[in-house]
Every structure is written in structure tokens, then in C-alpha cells.
Amino acid sequence: MTMHNLVPSNLDHILLGAGDLDHGIAWLQERSGVRAIFGGAHPGRGTRNALLSLGPRRYLEIIAPDPEQANTSSGNVLADRLRALQEPRLINWAAHAKDLAALAQQAAAGGIAIENPRDGSRVRPDGSTLRWKSFALKNDFDGLLPFFIEWDRSSIHPSQDAPSGCALQHFFLESAATEELHSVAVKLELEVELKPAKTHALHARIIGKRGAFELA
């Protein structure tokens, strides 16, 4: 990755985990000067989200437990993980794929194990439904490597009508396993910057209405 390309070209969105959605929205607004808009709930997954745009075909998703699914989401790994967060933090990211089935075959050919591709959907506040297909890696290095998403052609991309005013300037990964990460990234055509470090971490630098700020 060159200094002229500090964000992966196929980055679709970054996920900011929060223990409470309202707190996550207020926390991010304080830093960015932009208030994320409620996106909707993820039925059966125990979560809900709010969104803000990071520019064309990129957005930030604040994801948090859904109180209305509290009784049905017990044991949901993601929802339980989010409840344990004291402050919002980056937990994962998504890369967009033009042909998810072909990418799954490419992963298999490269010896990379994936979770079975699945259909996803979310009802927006206006009543319309967003639809997509996605798959995750069985080993994503604690969220350092993305899951992959292909949006349904009938669905509007969330970046198009989420609140604007922010742009993703720099995105990179820190890890003690940079060589292994690089090997997987190359096989999946991910051009993401890797920096050696003792611990795993995602880093994003965003320019908002109040200037630049960092997320990790």
C-alpha cells in the first residue's frame, strides 16, 4: 500500500462496538460533530445499529445490543461481547465483494477456511429492507481481517443516505502476526496496511466536522 492509498480500496464499512447504542451515538458525535442516524435491528442476532457516511461506498456502523432482543439473544457471542464494552471501540470491518461466491471459491483454493455464506437483511426506519450476502473467515485474527459482503442490487448502499460530514483518511492494522496476516490478505486481494505490534488492534483516522480524530 502506498502513501497515496491509505484506505483499502474494497473497504465497505468499519464497525464501532458499543455497550449501549445511544451512548455510542453521543460518544461519536462528540468527536466527529456528526450524529449517526438509527439504522435498524438485526433480527435473531441481538443487535441494532446506527450509521454515518465516510464518503462514497464507505460508512461507519455503530453496533450495540438490542434491548428488545435481550430475552432472545442470550448466548449470542457478539451481543454478549458488546455488552461487556466499557467504551466504544473498533471491533471489525467489512470488505465489499462484487461476486461473493467466486471469492468464497478463491478462499477455498487458497486454503482459507470460511463460515458458510449467509443471507442478511435489516428493515430500515422508512420500512424498506436492506439485503446482502456475507461470509466471515473462521480465523479472522480477533477481527483484524474483515468479513466480506455483497449488497443486493435492489438495496441502496448505506453510505448514500447516512449523515455526511466525515471521511476516512487512514485505516491500518496492528499485530504481532503481520507475516501470517499478509499471506491471507494477499490470497483474498486485500490491500491493507499492516504494522508490527505486541497486540492486535484496528486503527482508523477520520476527518470530521471538528477536525481529525482516531478510533481504535
In the block, cell 435473531 appears at: 44
Q: So what's the pLDDT on residue 182?
A: 95
Confidence of residue 56 (pLDDT cuts 50, 70, 90): very high
| CA 146 to mean position of chain CA atoms | 7
Q: So what's the pLDDT on residue 125?
A: 83
Which domains, and CATH codes, for the chain? 11-215 (3.10.180.10)
Q: Comparing C-alpha atoms, which of 109, 117, 70, 72 is closest to residue 188?
A: 109
Q: Are 23 and 90 in contact (CB under 8 A)?
A: no
User: DSSP code of 153?
Assistant: T
Tens of pLDDT, residues 58-77: 999 999 999 998 876 566 88
Query: Residue 205, CB half-sphere, CA atoms under 13 Å: how many?
Result: 8
Q: So what's the pLDDT on residue 2?
A: 37
Q: Comparing C-alpha atoms, which of 62, 79, 83 is closest to residue 16?
A: 62
Confidence of residue 126 (pLDDT cuts 50, 70, 90): confident
- One-character DSSP codes across 124-141: -TTS-EEEEEEE-BS--T
Beta-carbon contacts of residue 142 (< 8 Å; ≥ 6 apart):
200
Tens of pLDDT, residues 73-123: 566 889 999 999 999 999 999 999 999 999 999 999 999 999 989 998 888
Weakest mean pLDDT among 10-14, 116-120, 160-164? 116-120
Residue 32 in 3-state DSSP?
helix
In the block, cell 459482503 appears at: 149
Dist. CA 114–CA 11, nearest whole Å: 19
- One-character DSSP codes across 162-189: S--S-EEEEEEEEES-HHHHHHHHHHTT
Q: So what's the pLDDT on residue 123?
A: 85
Q: Model pTM greater than 0.75?
A: yes
Q: Comparing C-alpha atoms, which of 150, 153, 155 is closest to residue 135?
A: 150
pLDDT of 174 above 60: yes
Q: So what's the pLDDT on residue 43?
A: 83
Q: So what's the pLDDT on residue 72?
A: 67
Residue 93 in 3-state DSSP?
strand
Tell me the C-alpha to C-alpha distance, in Å, between residue 165 and each of 8, 161, 206.
Answer: 20, 12, 10
Beta-carbon contacts of residue 74 (< 8 Å; ≥ 6 apart):
none
Q: So what's the pLDDT on residue 4?
A: 42
User: What number is the average pLDDT over the span 142-149?
Assistant: 96
